[in-house]
Each structure stands twice: as structure tokens, then as C-alpha cells.
Amino acid sequence: MATDTVKTAERTLDLLEAFARIKEPLSLSELARQLGCPVSSCHGLIRTMKGRGYLYLLQHRRRYYPTRRLLEIGAEIAAHDPLVERLVPTLEALRARTEETVIVGHRQDDEIVYLHVLEGPQHIRYAASPGDRKPLHSSALGKAFLGVLDDPALAALLEGLPLRRITPATITQPDELMADVQRSRRRGYFVTRGENVPDVSAVARTVVVESETLGVCVAGPTHRMKPRVAELGEVLVEAVTSPGLQMEGGDGRGAISRDSRRRA
């Protein structure tokens, strides 16, 4: 994981996340406290963002709040995502059929980053957000990406991968994890049972979109998922190999082709 971060960029993101977390206007001193930086540094950041139209000042008590500019830019960016938008119809159908949370992820070094989350409709559900990061070894999406590797490459990776114990159920032995991945390859989907988040289980599989490998995952409370794991795995396999998607190889990957997508 990279450590060469840029302080100003980090503070800008921290500022936006503070507004999302607190959900109300904040004064300069309150923002400085949230960011853990001097008021002078925070003032410069706020002045820049206000000048660019991302924040506005409420005269009462001199508090700041973001404008809708960020929302509009975010929506425009999301609408032209080169990969995720092509999967949205499949994801929505998968959520409707399973009634559980559906996630798209991508491997970034030794982690998975969530690109898109469609939370399930049930009152008790697995809640997640785009940008969340998960370890390769303890998440269903991570295991799915491990499954893309052949055995020699997988063994080499597991040799150097820190298999931290995230929950009591996390697999921390390389040989045990390799056996789990090999079984999952043959089955066609990858499973976690409380290995990354206690009481949450998931099934996942990779799919290739325009030559880029993504992971698709169905996740929910273990008490609901456990008796349905095989069913949900089959539903997931069907979803990523349905018309508009075509199989590629025997390692649990599917591929979206331009021609078949246009016909769908």
C-alpha cells in the first residue's frame, strides 16, 4: 500500500468526509479540529474551495457547507465510468433476484477496492460504500482475484502476503487458503463465511470487462446467506454468464463482449 501521500489532497478529502459524517454546516475552527490541522492551514483550504464554488458561507455563525457542484461533477464522472456502467443492468438484476447487497470490486496491489455498491432491500443487510478497501485473503472478492492466478503464481503471492487475522474465522495459513481457492475455482465461485466481517458471508466471481478484470460479489448476513450459499453462487454464475456476457476459460471468469452487449 502506497505511503507517499500528498498532505493537501488528504486534507481536502478529509474535509469532504467530515461534512458527510457530521451532516451539518461547520465553522472554520470546527473544520480545523476535524482535520487535525492549524486554523491557518484550514483557512487556506476553505478559501480555495470556496473560490472554486465547492463551498459556500452561511453568514449566521460563519459556518461553511458544500455546494451541489461536487454532486454534479460526481454524477457526471459516475455516468461515464468505462467499466462499472456496463455492468449496472446485470448488478441490478442480481440484487433483485438475491435481495442481498451486490458489490463490484477491483484489485489494487494487495487489496480490493469497492467500485460500486448496490445495498440489498432488506432491513438487515450488509452496508458498504464505494472506496472501501478489503484484504485479498479474507474477502470473497479478494479470493476471486486470487483464483485468477495459476497455482505457481498463487503460491508465490501467498508466500509473501501478510495473512492477518481479521476475524476469528479468517484463514491465515497459506496452504489452507490455497486449498480453499482451488476448491472454489472448481466450483466456479468463491465464498467467505465471516472471514472479513463477523456474521457476514459472501459469494464472488470475476468478470472481464473490455479486457479489465473486475469482481462481482453478493454479500449479506450469515444467518440468511448460509443456507443459500450454493443457490446464490449458482445465481451469480448465471448472472455473469448470461446473454450479453460470455464465458472465458475455466477459472471462474466471465467476459463482456461489445457485440453481445449491444444485442442484449
pLDDT at 260: 34
Query: Among 94, 93, 91, which residue's Cα sits nearest to residue 105?
Result: 91
Whether residues 116 and 37 share a domain: the answer is: no
Alpha-carbon dihedral 140, 121, 71, 5, rounded to 10 degrees: -20
pLDDT at 81: 85
- The DSSP 8-state label assigned to residue 131 in this structure reads T
- Nearest-angstrom CA–CA distance, 263 and 259: 7
Whether residues 188 and 126 share a domain: the answer is: yes
Give the count of domains, the chain: 2
| In a domain? residue 213 | yes
| Radius of gyration of the chain from its Cα atoms, rounded to whole angstroms | 21
Contact yes or no for 249/148 (Cβ under 8 A): no
Whether residues 67 and 105 share a domain: the answer is: no
Whether residues 66 and 45 share a domain: the answer is: yes
pLDDT at 5: 66
Whether residues 136 and 252 share a domain: the answer is: yes
- Nearest-angstrom CA–CA distance, 186 and 188: 6
Whether residues 49 and 120 share a domain: the answer is: no
| In a domain? residue 149 | yes
171-172-178 Cα angle (round to 5) = 70
pLDDT at 248: 39
Q: Helix, strand, or coil here: 128?
A: coil
Whether residues 97 and 210 share a domain: the answer is: yes
**Which CATH number belongs to the domain containing residue 141 in this structure?**
3.30.450.40
Whether residues 219 and 88 share a domain: the answer is: yes
pLDDT at 82: 83
pLDDT at 7: 87
Whether residues 35 and 86 share a domain: the answer is: no
| In a domain? residue 1 | no
Please count the other Cβ atoms lying within 10 Å of the Cβ belonging to residue 12.
Answer: 16
Per-residue buried b or exposed e for 30-46, using 16+ beta carbons within 10 Å of the residue's own CB: bbbebbebeeeebeebb
Whether residues 43 and 22 share a domain: the answer is: yes
| Domain final residue pick, 19, 50, 72 | 72
Backbone phi, psi, residue 229, to 5°:
-55, -50
Q: What is the secondary structure of 182-216 as a DSSP string? A: HHHHHHTSEEEESSSSTTEEEEEEEEEETTEEEEE
pLDDT at 241: 82
Whether residues 128 and 51 share a domain: the answer is: no
- pLDDT mean values, one per 10 residues, the chain (264 residues): 70 93 94 92 93 92 92 90 87 96 95 96 94 96 97 95 95 96 96 96 93 94 96 94 51 45 32
Domain residue limits at 229:
81-263
pLDDT at 98: 97
| In a domain? residue 2 | no
Whether residues 184 and 65 share a domain: the answer is: no
